[in-house]
Structure 1
Amino acid sequence: METRRRSVVKALVWNAMGLAMMTLVGLIATGSAALGGMVALVNTAIGLTMYVIYERVWAGISWGRNG
């Protein structure tokens, strides 16, 4: 089973990449770095929370594991 710390680190790295991409998309879509960045921050906060929960739920499910 994966440790809680590993799940959190994976989530943080994944969300840092998502934050960068969403900031760029927000900038292109709105023309405003501030508004694009705010949209990206909200999206990242929600995504990070959901990803950590998702990973922890799956860490407790034994279906499909070998060994």
Structure 2
Amino acid sequence: MKEKAYRSIIKTISWRTVGTLDTVVISYFITGSFKMAASIGSIELFTKMILYYFHERVWNKISLGRHKPTKDDYVI
């Protein structure tokens, strides 16, 4: 079973939202500056979204850990 590209895009956006909030909070605790924390978060938002998207697309081509259902599989 393969995932469509739009699913990877939606997963990318949702994960980056969580990841960027985490980065902003950590950056704020380290720098003590919300402006600096927001700057760091905004930069990594875009770079990591791009990296994650391509990471997902590569993994979509790898069969490791995937099981192709057969007609004899039990289905609920």
2:10 corresponds in structure 1 to: 9
- Does residue 1:53 correspond to 2:54, yes or no? yes
Q: Which has the higher helix share?
A: 1
Give the corresponding residue for 2:21: 20
- Secondary structure, aligned partner of 1:64: coil
Moved over 6 A (4+): none
Structure 2 segments unaligned to the other structure (5+ residues): 69-76
Question: What SS is found at the alignment partner of 1:11?
Answer: helix
Q: Deviations over 1:5-50 (max 9, x none)?
A: 0001001000001111111111111111111111111112111111
Partner of 2:74: none
Larger radius of gyration: 2
Shift of 1:62: 2.3
Q: TM-score with structure 2 length normalisation?
A: 0.81
Opposite residue 59 of structure 1, the aligned amino acid is: N
TM-score when normalising by structure 1: 0.91
Name the count of aligned residue pairs. Answer: 67
**Consecutive unaligned residues in structure 1, runs of 5 or more:** none
